[in-house]
Amino acid sequence: MDHQTTRRPVGDHQQALGALVGPALSRPRRRTHALTALLGEAGRGALPRVVAGDAVAAADLPGFDNSQMDGYAVRAADLTGATPSDPVVLPVVAPVPAGTQAPPLARGTAAPVMTGSPVPADADAVVRIEDAEPPVFPEPGTPATVRFAAPVRPGTFVRRAGSDVAAGDVVVPAGTPLGPAQLGVLVAAGVAEVEVAEPSHVLLVSTGSELVPAGRSLGDAQVHDANGAMLTAALAEVGARVTQRVVPDDPAALRAVLAEAPDDVALVVTSGGVSAGAYEVVRQTLTDAWFGHVAVQPGGPQGLGTIALGKLSGSGPGMDRPESDNSRSDRSRAVPLVAFPGNPVSALVSFELFLRPVLAASTGAAPAHRPRRRAPLAAPLDSPEHLHQVRRARLDADGRVEMVGGPGSHLLAHLAAATLLVHVPPGVAHLEEGDDVDCWEIR
């Protein structure tokens, strides 16, 4: 085969996939949830949620003027002219513990306040306890005075109501993933309900007559469905909800799974059955899709197309039929289909290269790109010159890139041990120790 002319460049396939899948996922359904329900989900480690409609603060944050320090609430005007040699001496009134309401502060007095205590009305500043003399609070109930050796500016150490966010202001804008800080501020600002994007529903189909679902025992020549596990977790990480199926290398079985697809599936992802073997079920079933080779290793064989899901009254689901085709009933609808090769490392690397960026960008649940770095190789590296090679690696103690296993696309344990994907572009056949390579941090 003439590799140069017949293989699709990586960038071209990324573009083709993005153009097909991006628009299909760009308008997720929105739903309003009780914040407490979203907190429950977060506590169970459920899918990342993304805010779909600006969340508005129901209350000021802080909700009331409160002290930033343990100290004395004072009227700044009372301390004008205080110096070490001529301190201002004030009687100490009842302390204000956090969680209690204080009476207004009388002129010429000082009230002990704790961090988070409400600052009494008419007080306008807090002097830290360590800046007062004595620098300890008196026993509550015993008459006492306190000396201040310096003036204080109004506002000092007072956290003003609404200074973080004011009631009625947008506190978490649409498009923001609901992480710890976002959930925290929604609770703090009294928000009861949040409109979030419903996760895109992905139908994930592992194909192969040799496959056995996770946890079941293997017969002769059978293998566990590792791709189903990997891609389910990978899809969930970028905010997709996954329905997973395993089908043998039998077009009728694949058609049946597509016909029974849940109504809200927005994307189909398959693994296996796309290369040049004798039993390539995805290729054989989806005759209108693009199947070809991308100039990448691993992950060369790829497929991409649009598939009709749901019940068809005619010959069963097939590739995108024209609306006028009367074999298509109302229950079928066209969604993008992305077909990955079956070798486990190929499947996950394909996901990283082609689908993850598109999904992450459309759901907003994760950054569209993995963190990237350039780092020097710990040892020389060969790469097929006509291909974009992706190798699994980690950093050694000196911050150099050390390969984890060879290029074989069945080396799943090595992938699991790796922290980096190393990219060697086409046109490069050999790199020396110390040469810098592009790396994506995958964990």
Query: 251, 272, 299, 344: which one contacts Mg ion (CB under 5 A)?
Result: 272
In the complex with Mg ion, which residue's Cβ is closer, 124 or 280? 280
- CA-to-CA separations, 205 to 202, 225, 257, in angstroms, rounded: 10, 10, 8
Choose one: 40-48, 147-155, 271-279, 378-386; the region binding ligand AMP (CB under 6 A).
271-279
Cβ-proximal residues to 169 (8 Å cutoff; 6+ apart), any chain: 56, 57
**Residue 149 CB: number of other CB atoms within 10 A?**
16
Please tell me the distance from the alpha carbon of residue 332 to that of residue 263, in angstroms, as a whole number.
9
Q: Does position 225 bind ligand AMP by CB under 6 A?
A: yes
> Which partner, ligand AMP, Mg ion, none, binds residue 228 by CB below 5 to 8 Å per kind?
ligand AMP
Kindly state the smallest distance separating residue 23's Cβ from ligand AMP, in Å: 28
Which parts of 195-214 interact with ligand AMP (CB under 6 A)?
A: 206, 208, 210-211
Phi, psi dihedral angles at 92 (to 5 degrees): -90, 125
Contact 103, 61 (CB under 8 A): no
Q: Which two tokens stand for residue 371?
A: 């963190």
Query: 28, 298, 341, 342: which one contacts Mg ion (CB under 5 A)?
Result: 342
> Which partner, ligand AMP, Mg ion, none, binds residue 109 by CB below 5 to 8 Å per kind?
none
Contact 272, 208 (CB under 8 A): yes
> Which partner, ligand AMP, Mg ion, none, binds residue 299 by CB below 5 to 8 Å per kind?
none
Contact 49, 41 (CB under 8 A): yes
Q: Which two tokens stand for residue 316?
A: 């069963």
CA angle 117, 101, 126 (to 5 degrees): 35
Q: Which two tokens stand for residue 209?
A: 């007559």
Query: 341, 364, 407, 426: which one contacts ligand AMP (CB under 6 A)?
Result: 341
Contact 432, 414 (CB under 8 A): no
Cβ-proximal residues to 227 (8 Å cutoff; 6+ apart), any chain: 206, 271, 272, 340, 342, 344, 347, 348
State the binding string over 163-202 for ligand AMP (x if CB under 6 A, else -).
Answer: ----------------------------------------
In the complex with Mg ion, which residue's Cβ is closer, 71 or 272? 272
Please tell me the distance from the alpha carbon of residue 287 to that of residue 247, in angstroms, as a whole number.
18
Kindly state the smallest distance separating residue 251's Cβ from ligand AMP, in Å: 14
Which parts of 277-306 interact with ligand AMP (CB under 6 A)?
A: 277
> Which partner, ligand AMP, Mg ion, none, binds residue 362 by CB below 5 to 8 Å per kind?
none
Kindly state the smallest distance separating residue 212's Cβ from ligand AMP, in Å: 9
In the complex with ligand AMP, which residue's Cβ is closer, 200 or 271? 271
Q: Which two tokens stand for residue 305?
A: 């197309």
> Which partner, ligand AMP, Mg ion, none, binds residue 271 by CB below 5 to 8 Å per kind?
ligand AMP
Phi, psi dihedral angles at 261 (to 5 degrees): -60, 140
Kindly state the smallest distance separating residue 230's Cβ from ligand AMP, in Å: 8
Query: 109, 182, 200, 227: which one contacts ligand AMP (CB under 6 A)?
Result: 227
Q: Which residue has the tokens 């100039």?
A: 295
Q: Does position 272 bind ligand AMP by CB under 6 A?
A: yes
Cis peptide preceding 262, ω within 30 of 0: no
Contact 439, 421 (CB under 8 A): yes
Q: Does position 305 bind Mg ion by CB under 5 A?
A: no
Query: 24, 94, 188, 223: which one contacts ligand AMP (CB under 6 A)?
Result: 223
In the complex with ligand AMP, which residue's Cβ is closer, 206 or 285? 206
What number of chain residues touch ligand AMP (CB under 6 A)? Answer: 18
In the complex with ligand AMP, which residue's Cβ is closer, 273 or 316? 273
Q: Does position 303 bind Mg ion by CB under 5 A?
A: no
Q: Which residue is nearest to ligand AMP (CB)?
A: 342
Burial track 241-256 (b if 16+ CB lie within 10 A, e otherwise)? bbbbbbbebebebbbe
Q: Which residue has the tokens 């150490």?
A: 157
In the complex with Mg ion, which residue's Cβ is closer, 278 or 397? 278
Kindly state the smallest distance separating residue 302's Cβ from ligand AMP, in Å: 11
Three-state DSSP at 268 gives strand
Q: Does position 341 bind Mg ion by CB under 5 A?
A: no
Contact 310, 259 (CB under 8 A): yes
In the complex with ligand AMP, which residue's Cβ is closer, 258 or 269? 269
Closest CA to 123 of 134, 135, 109: 109
Choose one: 234-242, 291-299, 341-349, 376-384; the region binding ligand AMP (CB under 6 A).
341-349
Binding site for ligand AMP (CB under 6 A): 206, 208, 210-211, 223, 225-228, 271-273, 275, 277, 341-344
Binding site for Mg ion (CB under 5 A): 208, 272-273, 342
